[in-house]
Amino acid sequence: MIENRLKRVLAERITPAVYTPVAELKLTAWHVEGGQGEPVMPAVALAGNVSYEPFSVGQQWGPAWGTSWIHVTGTVPPQARGHKVELVVDLGFSQSWPGFQAEGLVYRPDGTAVKALNPLNTWLPVASESTGGEEIDLYVEAAANPFVFTDNPFIPTHLGEKSTAGSAPRYTMARADINIFNTEVWELVQDLEVLEQLAAELDPGNPRRWDILYAVERALDAVHLTDIPGTAAAGRAELAHVLAQPANASAHQITAIGHAHIDSAWLWPVRETVRKVARTTSNVVNLLEEYPELQFAMSSAQQYEWLKEQRPEVFERVKDAVAQGRFIPTGGMWVESDTNMVGSEAMARQFTYGQRFFRENFGVQCQEVWLPDSFGYSAALPQIVKLAGAKWFLTQKISWNTVNKFPHHTFNWEGIDGTRVFTHFPPVDTYNSQLSGQELAHAVRNFRDKGAAKNSLVPFGWGDGGGGPTREMLARAKRTQNLEGSPQVTIASPAEFFTAAQAEYPHAPVWKGELYLELHRGTYTSQALTKQGNRASEHLLRQAELWSATAASRGLIDYPYDELDRIWKLVLLNQFHDILPGSSIAWVHREAAESYARIAKDLQEIIFEAMQALAPAVDPVDPDPWKSTLFNASPYPRRGIAPLSAGVPAPHSSEVTVEHDGSDVVVHNGLITVRFGADGVISSIVDVAANRELVPSGQGANLLQLHADFPNMWDAWDIDAFYKNTVTDLRELDSMEVTMGSGQAEITIKRSFRKSHITQRVRIAPDSKIITVYNDVDWHEQETLLKAAFPLDVHADHARFETQYGHIQRATHENTSWDNARFEVCAHRWVHVGEPGFGAAVINDSTYGHDVSRHPGANGSSFTTVRLSLLRGPRFPDPETDQGPHSFTYGLVVGAEVADAVDAGYAMNLPWRGTYSDGAAVEPLISTDSQAALIECIKLADDRSGDVIVRLYEPLGARASVTLSASFPVASLEENNLLEQPYDAGSLTFSDHGVARIALRPFQILTLRLKKDNK
Show Cβ contacts of residue 257 under 8 Å, excluding neighbours closer than 6 positions. Answer: 295, 296, 297, 328, 457, 458, 459, 460, 491, 492, 493, 494, 497
Show Cβ contacts of residue 345 under 8 Å, excluding neighbours closer than 6 positions. Answer: 538, 541, 542, 936, 937, 951
Q: How far apart are the first and last CA of the chain?
A: 89
CA distance 965 to 992: 10
Beta strands in 592-718 (DSSP E): 629-632, 645-647, 657-661, 664-668, 672-676, 682-687, 692-693, 703-708
- In the DSSP assignment, the letter for residue 616 is P
Helix axes 561-573, 301-310, angle to 10 degrees: 110
In 3-state terms, what secondary structure has residue 359?
helix
Q: Determine the residue type at 549.
A: A
Which whole-number Å values give the CA distances from 552 to 558, 718, 757, 980, in the listed order?
6, 46, 47, 19
CA distance 613 to 326: 50
| Dihedral of the alpha carbons of 19, 20, 22, 23, in degrees to the nearest 10 | 40
Asked if 955 contacts 636 with a C-beta cutoff of 8 angstroms, the reply is no
Alpha helices (H) in 833-897, listed in sequence order: none
| Dihedral of the alpha carbons of 346, 348, 352, 355, in degrees to the nearest 10 | 110
| Dihedral of the alpha carbons of 559, 562, 566, 572, in degrees to the nearest 10 | 60
φ and ψ at 225, to 5 degrees?
Answer: -65, -15
Which whole-number Å values give the CA distances from 585 to 110, 194, 233, 579, 589, in the listed order?
35, 38, 49, 9, 7
φ and ψ at 951, to 5 degrees?
Answer: -120, 125
Tell me the Cα Rg of the chain.
31
Asked if 25 contacts 176 with a C-beta cutoff of 8 angstroms, the reply is yes
CA distance 888 to 829: 13
In 3-state terms, what secondary structure has residue 551?
helix
Active site residue 110: no
DSSP letters spanning 96-114: S-TTSS-EEEEE-TTS-EE
CA distance 814 to 817: 7
Q: Strand 926-928: give its sheet, edge to edge.
A: 926-928, 960-966, 995-1000, 988-992
CA distance 828 to 824: 14
Report the relative pairing of strands 934-940 and 948-953 from DSSP bridges: antiparallel
If we measure between CA atoms, which residue out of 216, 312, 156 comes closest to residue 7?
216
Phi-psi region of 162 (alpha: psi -120 to 50; beta: other; left: phi over 0): alpha
What is the number of alpha carbons within 13 Å of residue 262 lying toward its C-beta?
Answer: 32
Q: Of the listed 373, 720, 845, 882, which one is catalytic?
A: 373
Asked if 279 contacts 103 with a C-beta cutoff of 8 angstroms, the reply is yes
Residue 674 pairs in a beta bridge with 667, 685
Q: Strand 884-894: give its sheet, edge to edge.
A: 735-741, 744-753, 756-764, 770-779, 884-894, 838-844, 830-835, 798-803, 806-811
592's enclosing H/E stretch is helix 586-614
Distance of CA 689 to the CA centre of its chain: 45
Residues serving a catalytic function are 373
